[in-house]
Amino acid sequence: MKTRYDAIIIGGGHNGLVCAAYLARAGLEVLVLERRPVIGGAAVSEETVPGFTFSTFSYVMSLLHPKIIRELELRRFGLEVLPASDLFCPVDGKDFLLLSEDVAKTQASFARFSRRDAETYPAFARHLEECAGLVRRFLFETPPDPARGDLRGRTETLALLWRHRRIGRGFHRLVDLFTLSAADFLDRWFESPIIKAVFAYYASIGTFAGPRSPGSAYVILHHVMGEHEGAAGWGFVRGGMGAISRALAESGKRFGVAIATEAEVAEIRIRDGQAQGVVLADGREFQAPIIAANLHAKLLYERLIGARHLPAEVLADIRHYRTLSTAFKINIAASAPPAYTAFDPERAGIDYPAYVHIAPDLDWLERAFDDAKYGRFSARPFMTPVVPTVRDTTIAPPGRHVVHLFGGHAPYTLREGNWKEAKDRFARTVLETLELFAPGFSSHIIDMQVLAPPDIEAILNLPGGHIFHGELAPDQLFWKRPIPGYADYRTPIRGVYLCGSSAHPGGGVSGIPGHNAAREILRDRRWRRLRS
């Protein structure tokens, strides 16, 4: 294996692979170093139970940007998205709400709970789409630093304002999204707490917040800004989420990207404030003037760069970066999928609800957060049960099912005891909650893997186990992600960049941080060439 490259990517998560492919496409010799035996990070497919392939972490796709799919030709390399069913939200044992692409169908289910809300829904859906459009405008922006007083800071900030000068009243909508709670945002539209919960649910996903926490309105948008078809834009990937990472790797390989697994980077070599290369935990060394880190910003700054190379205020900012997760994932091999008592194929107009939200009203979500606030796992967790095998029969033996349960809250730090002791009790609580809506499901479980935040942290080397590499809160978004002054994918070290989810626009399988980081790396390279 060569030891000198134009660029090294630390971490073979999907963002690292996107960054690698774009750099290689531009002619650079690129090496990806991944710590695990498999590439993909949180976008992997793994056969943890013989015959059953799980999307161990992320489990549905919506955010992967069409520009990236098109430019890297991911369909040619095997990416196939299968639409999930309409989103099915059981309210109790007898009734349900649906969120469907078909507005009339959604309205019909809403009308059973509030005629007024059903009438309001089309205008709300338009408003949500307009807000999503506003957020989408900024996805491919490199956040400037408005506090930087020099010519570059001023020009970049003014250029951003100029590009978005026609935003008009959209500006006030954006301020609302970043400051309002999900509940306040939804109160403007709906009266029924059951209907509000359908949307407020998105604000709780992967976030240490409840629907009444200020700023949580933005997290709804983060989940609905994808541009794909299917249940609220979410779909399954044939072969599991790892198929995305495999397609990205294959796309990169045709431009010469080299990938090494079981290659954990222990240190970035730095001389006179410039990156020289990396040292692996097993002692191997690789040289490159460009290092793009796909791993969490805290690890990059505190471990791989190290305090001695960083100003004190940068270290203080990164220390305060909030990244303690409350999200859990349970991967189940089952002989039958959950059978919801509220589900009636005729009334719902779908053959089976493969994509479900369990949180029957707003207070359910808020109470789940209350528990977490005081260091307990939720007595009644909210959760998303999905059954990809309804669409994709390649991932389980015939007649058997893969069931993913994702939800919250399961605080990283428990006030009493620890996760080793608490895990069985927690898994029982989750299954008992599911059984309120789908009795008897537990008897169909063949095997299961329970992942609390410390497990996710350990497997992915992800501080706090945070699914988005850090909270998606107003103080950690755009020009403050991950820290003020370094939201432009650069770091205080020349040649070291951040290309993972702790960079703008944050987590989710979108590929955008990797794309944007590659663009900035290539921009700096062009400048350096011009100057020399």
Binding site for ligand FAD (CB under 6 A): 10-16, 33-36, 41-43, 57-60, 63, 264-265, 294-295, 327, 329, 406, 456, 460-462, 467-469, 500-501, 507-509
Closer by beta carbon to ligand FAD, 10 or else 414: 10
Closer by beta carbon to ligand FAD, 28 or else 60: 60
Angle between helices 103-111 and 115-137 in degrees, nearest 10:
140
**In the bound complex, what is the minimum distance in angstroms from residue 186's beta carbon to ligand FAD?**
22
Closer by beta carbon to ligand FAD, 84 or else 89: 84
Which DSSP category does 478 fall into? G
Alpha carbon of residue 306 to chain centroid: 27
Closer by beta carbon to ligand FAD, 342 or else 493: 493
Angle between helices 115-137 and 170-179 in degrees, nearest 10:
100
Please tell me whether residue 293 adopts helix, strand or coil conformation: strand
**In the bound complex, what is the minimum distance in angstroms from residue 55's beta carbon to ligand FAD?**
8
CA distance 91 to 362: 11
Please tell me whether residue 298 adopts helix, strand or coil conformation: helix
CA distance 423 to 101: 37
**In the bound complex, what is the minimum distance in angstroms from residue 377's beta carbon to ligand FAD?**
15
**In the bound complex, what is the minimum distance in angstroms from residue 13's beta carbon to ligand FAD?**
2
**In the bound complex, what is the minimum distance in angstroms from residue 447's beta carbon to ligand FAD?**
18
**In the bound complex, what is the minimum distance in angstroms from residue 513's beta carbon to ligand FAD?**
6
**In the bound complex, what is the minimum distance in angstroms from residue 380's beta carbon to ligand FAD?**
20
Closer by beta carbon to ligand FAD, 242 or else 495: 242
**In the bound complex, what is the minimum distance in angstroms from residue 199's beta carbon to ligand FAD?**
17
Angle between helices 216-224 and 115-137 in degrees, nearest 10:
80
Closer by beta carbon to ligand FAD, 156 or else 457: 457
**In the bound complex, what is the minimum distance in angstroms from residue 303's beta carbon to ligand FAD?**
8
**In the bound complex, what is the minimum distance in angstroms from residue 31's beta carbon to ligand FAD?**
11
Closer by beta carbon to ligand FAD, 63 or else 395: 63
Closer by beta carbon to ligand FAD, 249 or else 350: 249
CA distance 85 to 94: 19
Closer by beta carbon to ligand FAD, 25 or else 469: 469
CA distance 465 to 452: 8
**In the bound complex, what is the minimum distance in angstroms from residue 81's beta carbon to ligand FAD?**
12
Is the CB of residue 517 less than 8 Å from the CB of residue 292? Answer: yes
Closer by beta carbon to ligand FAD, 190 or else 202: 202
Is the CB of residue 435 less than 8 Å from the CB of residue 338? Answer: no
- Strand 496-498 and strand 290-293: pairing? parallel
**In the bound complex, what is the minimum distance in angstroms from residue 438's beta carbon to ligand FAD?**
20
**In the bound complex, what is the minimum distance in angstroms from residue 346's beta carbon to ligand FAD?**
29
Residue burial 440-479, b: 16+ Cβ < 10 Å; e: rest: ebbebeeebbbbbbbbbbebbebbbbbbbbbbbbeebbeb
Joined together, the tokens standing for residue 159 give 């250029």
Is the CB of residue 321 less than 8 Å from the CB of residue 294? Answer: no
Closer by beta carbon to ligand FAD, 327 or else 395: 327
Joined together, the tokens standing for residue 470 give 């850090």
Q: Note if the bond before 296 is cis, omega within 30 degrees.
A: no
Is the CB of residue 298 less than 8 Å from the CB of residue 476? Answer: no
CA distance 518 to 509: 17
CA distance 485 to 145: 6
Closer by beta carbon to ligand FAD, 16 or else 353: 16
Is the CB of residue 60 less than 8 Å from the CB of residue 70? Answer: no
Backbone angles phi, psi at 80, to 5 degrees: -135, 120
Please tell me whether residue 505 adopts helix, strand or coil conformation: coil
CA distance 410 to 453: 7
CA distance 10 to 44: 17
Closer by beta carbon to ligand FAD, 36 or else 400: 36
Range list of β-strands (E), 213-287: 235-237, 258-260, 265-271, 274-280, 285-287
